[in-house]
Structure formats: structure tokens, C-alpha cells
Amino acid sequence: MPDVDVLIPTIDRLSSLVMTLGGLAAQSWRDFRLVVADQSEPPVDADPAVLTLRRLIEARGGEVEWHHRPVRHGIAEQRDFLLRRARADAVLYLDDDVYLEAWVLETLLATLRAEGCGFVGAFPAGLSHRDDIRPEQQAIDSWHGPVEPEAVEPDSPAWERWQLHRAANLFHVGRGLPARKLRRYRVAWIASCVLYDRRKLEAVGGFAFWNRLPRYHSGEEVLVQNLLMRRWGGCGIVPSGAYYSQAPTTVLNDRGTVDGHALALLPEMIERYAAAARA
């Protein structure tokens, strides 16, 4: 069985998906299974570039599983679908607009195994901001010892860690590090490229709450990561080696907003899974 299942939800972003698959095909860590949940219309699995990259992943020792899912319930349901098909101990949720440098998957897996935490993320930079330097948003709170459990409450000072994930802030911080120097840092949450311990993710319910959210929603990973941090901790890595295509998002409604945020479920989820942990 592969060491990692790479789980990609995708919808109507062919060019960005090709970029993402290209980064995956070049990873130094080759022992992974790629599972794609495609809600594009028309489906993109027969696109020549997609086919070539699928074949390349397989030729380098990986596996590929592709699902076309025309009925759309939102991103949390896509994540739930993918998690239910995962078999590996570690699962990488990778958005369909993220390019990874060749060392990223291997580094994420090594960090997750070494720390035994709930998740490790590599937040992508938007390089249109590479000259937009924002020192006031670049505060970084590093882990100097082992990653440990912590409760990060919405609207607490620790919640402001999210500022590091704006624009290209993390990219600029990474460029200031000595060569080959990796740092683990504390997060409020992390998006788009996150490696989870599958069993720990399932222990906090995964994304089974999807049917309690409206079709257009956000915050599903914010919620599960908050729960995971309370029990096992989580971290980000810098440099991240991840980059956005900066294609338009596909999770918004026609008004350009969302109709609900998963964090509304946080108090009851804390009580439910805190009680389970005590038991």
C-alpha cells in the first residue's frame, strides 16, 4: 500500500489542474496514490495533458484513481468523498491550483512522522505578490521543540497567525532563511496543501459534517484543523515550496460570497470530540 494518498478535488480549472499534476509527477517521493474527484463539465480525464501526466505518475511507480462526480454539494462533501476512499496512513489534500517543488511531499511526510501531530501544511504563495513585501504581516511563531497540542480560539491573539498566509508573506519569510534550513511554525489554520494523519482526521469526524453546510461554504479545513490541534497539534513548514496558479476560486456563489462557514459548528464539535477523547 502506498505511503500517501494524494486527494485532489477539482472543478472547471483544467489549466491549473495540469499545473498541479505536473508538480506531482515530478515529486522525489514516488510512493503515492492519486485520487481525483472531478466535478468539471465536461470531465477532464481525457484531456491529452492530463492523460500524459497520469501516465507519467504511474510510470514512476504511483497509482491513479479518477472519479467523475457531476452532482455538486460543495467542497466539504468533495473532501468527505475523497477521505472515504483513502487507505494510506497519511493523506495529502491538495487543491487543484497548487504547484509543488519536487521535495515538498517527501518533506511533509518526514515531518508528520517525526512529530506525530495531526497535520503538516505547506501554504502556497501567490507570486504576483513577490514584490509586495509586508513586514507587518510576516510575524512567525516557530516551534522550537516538538509540535504539541494547543487550543487556538477564533478572535484570540493566536488567530492572527493567519496574516502570515496572505499574499506572498510566507515566501518572503522563507527567502530570509539560510539555505536548506526548514522551520516548523504554529498556525491558526493552513489551506490548499495539507498532509493529515488519516486516523487522527477520522477520529475528529473528518468532513462528515458536510451535509450541515449550505452548497456554497468555506472553512471546512479550518474546523477540522482546529479540532486536530486541540488533541495532537499541527504545524506549517517554511520554506513551503508551494505556489498558487491564482486562478479564480470555485467555492463562491453567484454574488461572490459564501452562504455559511464551517466554524459555526466549532463549539458543538469541540464538545463532541473532547468528550470522545476523555472516554
Q: What is the pLDDT of residue 87?
A: 97
DSSP string, the chain: --SEEEEEEE-S-HHHHHHHHHHHHT-S---EEEEEEE--SS--TT-HHHHHHHHHHHHTT-EEEEEE--S---HHHHHHHHHHT--SSEEEEE-TTEEE-TTHHHHHHHHHHHH--SEEE-PPB-GGGTT---GGG----B-SS--------TTSGGGGGGGGGSTTHHHHHHHTSPTT--EEE--S---SEEEEEHHHHHHTTTTGGGGGS-SSEE-HHHHHHHHHHHHT-EEEEES--EEE--PPPSS--TTSS-SEEGGGGHHHHHHHHHHHHH-
Please give the mean pLDDT across all residues of the chain.
95
pLDDT tens digits along 112-139: 999 999 999 999 999 999 999 999 999 9
pLDDT tens digits along 198-243: 999 999 999 999 999 999 999 999 999 999 999 999 999 999 999 9
pLDDT tens digits along 156-188: 999 999 999 999 999 999 998 887 789 999 999
Using CA atoms, how far apart are residues 50 and 66, in angstroms rounded to an integer?
11
Q: What is the pLDDT of residue 60?
A: 97
Cell triple for 253: 456563489
Q: Please state the domain extents for the chain.
A: 4-201+225-249
Residue 113's closest CA among 150, 147, 62, 152?
Answer: 147
pLDDT tens digits along 58-93: 999 999 999 999 999 999 999 999 999 999 999 999
Using CA atoms, how far apart are residues 7 and 264, in angstroms rounded to an integer?
25
Q: What is the pLDDT of residue 1?
A: 81
Partnered with residue 18 across adjacent β-strands are: none
Q: What is the pLDDT of residue 275?
A: 63
The full length of the chain comes to 279
Confidence band of 24 (pLDDT split at 50, 70, 90): very high
Confidence band of 251 (pLDDT split at 50, 70, 90): confident
Share of residues in the chain with pLDDT > 70 (%): 98
Q: pLDDT at residue 279 above 70?
A: no
Tell me the pTM: 0.97
Question: Helix axis angle, 220-231 relative to 266-278, nearest 10°?
Answer: 30
Q: What is the pLDDT of residue 152?
A: 97
Fold of 4-201+225-249: Spore Coat Polysaccharide Biosynthesis Protein SpsA; Chain A (3.90.550)
